[in-house]
Amino acid sequence: MREGTNMQRYLLAGLSSLLLASASGCTPWHAEEYDARLESAENNAATARLRADQVCYRIDLVEQTANEALRRATQAQEQVQQLLQQAKRK
């Protein structure tokens, strides 16, 4: 008799779980939809990280180019100053 009672409890617990899962909207279709949304969000995040890395790389290139341009401009200015000094001496 006790085995029948345990079986009824298991059956009741299983049905209760099924009822709760159905009531909470946790159906296989919803689970698939949530998985798809999560995968999409992860893909979007990965794409955003990749784009951010590309932007950082381009910023580094721009900074290097700007530093080189500044170096050349400073060098040219020094040469002009030297030429002006030489012209004043003559």
State the pLDDT at residue 1: 46
pLDDT of 20 > 70? The answer is: no
Reported confidence tier of residue 11, pLDDT bands at 50, 70, 90: low
Q: What is the pLDDT of residue 25?
A: 58
What pLDDT does 77 receive? 97
Q: Domain locations in the chain?
A: 2-89
pLDDT tens-digit profile of 34-87? 889 899 999 999 999 999 999 999 999 999 999 999 999 999 999 999 999 998
Angle at 17 between CA 25 and CA 34, to 5 degrees: 30
Token pair listed for 52? 């951010």
CA–CA distance, 39 with 67 (Å, rounded to integer): 42
Write down the pTM of the prediction: 0.54
